[in-house]
Structure formats: C-alpha cells, structure tokens
Amino acid sequence: MAGDYLKPYQQAVESGGTGFESLLWRNKEFQLKRFQVLCEVASAGLAKPDIPASLDKISGRVIADMGCGRADLCQWLGEHNVEYGKYVGVEGVPDLAEVCRQRIANENFQMAEVVESDFAADLKIFESLVKNHGVELFLFSGSLNTFKQDHAIEVVSAAFKALAGTSGGVVFNFLSDLVRDPPSHDTGPAQRFDTLGVFAQLSKLSGKASLRHDYLSGHDATIGLFV
C-alpha cells in the first residue's frame, strides 16, 4: 500500500484525472519557476569553482526526476535546449507513470524512460538508479512536499549517499517556513519545512551544499548537495 505522502496525488487522479491539476501545483507559473531554479542550482553545483555556471553544465548528465508526475521537467529541459544524456522519470502513482510513457512516445521526448516506483518505500531504488541507469543527478521538484520533514531528509540523504564515487548531486525544493508574505496560508496536503534546520542537517553530508531562497517571494526554497 502506498505511503500517506502519495495519497493526495492518488486522490487527485481518482477525482479529476491525470491532467496538470493532479500534480497539486498552485499554478503552472510556480511549477516552471521551480524547474528553472532547480536546474540553476544543479548547474552551479556541478560547475568547476573557477567557471561561471550555466545550464550547459548539466548537458550530458543522466537525470532522475524523482516523482516526475507528467514528465513536465523533461519537456522543460527540451524547451530550454538542455541536452541531457538521459532522462529517467520515476513515478509512484501508476496512472501518472502511464501518462509519462505516453508523452515520451507521443511527443518524442529524446533519451527518456520511466521507472514506476514509490521511491520512498524502498530507499535502495537510488542505488539501483545509479548502478543500472547511470544516474548522476537526482532532482526532486515538489515531490517531497507531502512528506514529514524527517522522512524527506532521510530520502534525500539516501539519494546523496547512492552517488558516492560519482561527480553528481541531489537538488530538491520544498515550501519554506521563512516566507514573509505567503501566497496563501493554506498549503493543502503540503507542509512547510524548517528551512535552516534542513540545510544545517543535510550540509553535514557534503562540503558542497547550496541554498536558494530568492524566488517566488521566499515561498519556496531549493537545496543542492554535490559530491
């Protein structure tokens, strides 16, 4: 049985189908801005210290989109000419995983595949993705929002540890408790995390950690950890 963190998405699919609304984003603009920042943080973390970051730093990388929903991130990468090495969408809601497969086939997403898995139920999935799919970069966009904070930290830590011996990283976003003027006090099934507490705890895993809090008026935060 799926964990509580997946139930809001399953209920959304059951009540309204597999359209954009099933992803539980406030709006499309917020989703796309998060994609941009996620990839900017990844690019900066993967760049050499003496070279300015740009999105081409993730070119050629094997990217795992954890909780990929409808594979919108894959579409965003293509629209922004990011020539990733391979896109692996990982989705735990079966109906959404099927939508991903259909989009990859029908919209001709290049070098893309779908793995149907509840990544939080079996943390060994991260080692498998690195070993069997060559994943170098784990991205979580909104897919930890319904988690308890400690569980989210556990998942991110497992993803990072699976990258040992690579030159990759993990980047994830979440609702920040530091927001001064939230768009709404009702976050639905999502939860705000202790932003500085999460960063302090995870930064113990890596000397290359970053925190972005300069977008969406501080409603959201993005953290990157790099090997």
Q: Is 66 helix (H, G, I), strand (E, B) or coil?
A: strand
Residue-level pLDDT at 136: 98
Residue-level pLDDT at 53: 81
Domain boundaries, the chain: 4-226
Which residues, at least 6 apart from 175, have a Cβ–Cβ distance to it below 8 Å? 145, 187, 190, 191, 192, 193, 219, 220, 221
Residue-level pLDDT at 49: 79
Give yes or no for a contact between 227 and 166, defined as CB atoms under 8 angstroms apart.
yes
CATH architecture type of domain 4-226: 3-Layer(aba) Sandwich (3.40)
Q: Is 64 helix (H, G, I), strand (E, B) or coil?
A: strand
Residue by residue, pLDDT tens for the chain (227 residues) are: 346 756 555 565 566 566 545 444 555 788 899 999 999 999 999 988 788 888 989 999 999 999 998 899 999 999 999 999 999 999 998 899 999 999 999 998 999 999 999 999 999 999 999 999 999 999 999 999 989 999 999 999 999 999 999 999 999 999 999 988 776 666 677 889 999 999 999 999 999 999 999 999 898 999 999 99
